[in-house]
Structure 1
Amino acid sequence: MSLTKTERAIIVSMWGKISTQADTIGTETLERLFITYPQTKTYFPHFDLHAGSAQLRAHGSKVVAALGDAVKNIDNITGALAKLSELHAYILRVDPVNFKFVYIAT
């Protein structure tokens, strides 16, 4: 899928607004993930998974930062996130089935 120049500009603009709330958005996203898909908690046995915990805030911030890297490198997202992908696949051993997404062709 290739984005138009206008679509790229929209994404970058939206990210500018989202990134100012990175900690809050990241924390809330993880909290919702654990409520909706409780099985994902098994990947965080050492975390305090209570709402608003320092560990959830810190990890949520990392997740949102990775999304920021993807936005900054929108023309090479795979390359920009390669190290993160390798970390999750080979060191953390996170099953890729947990990272499914829906692609809707336009």
Structure 2
Amino acid sequence: MFPVILQQLRTEKGLTRQDVADYLGKTPQAYGYYEKGKREPNYDTLISLADLFDVSIDYLLGRNYQHLVGDDEHLFFIDTSELTDEAVEDVKKHVEYMRYKSQGDHSSEKLRS
């Protein structure tokens, strides 16, 4: 399950194996072994992959289907197991819109002070 999820996340993000290998500080061949299921990453590499793809380690390992949504200050998980890829993208766009709208609200509050 892990190799399939890893390859899916990489292609969804439009990255090459070389891109991910560079990010991890590994050779493309070493990274390719993860996608082929010939090797398993260590804990630090799992954390780096989860950060790169904005998913939980549980998601990477196929334990649940949750995506991280938000920014460094306000992260939360959503269960996407029953959503289409299009619906997941809509949720992400809505979060971005609400962030934009909130930033506008904060700036107008400052003007009133």
On whether the aligned pair clears a TM of 0.5, the verdict is no
Q: Which has the higher contact order (CA 8 A, sep 6+)?
A: 1
TM-score by length of 2: 0.28
Higher helix share: 1
Q: Which has the larger radius of gyration?
A: 2
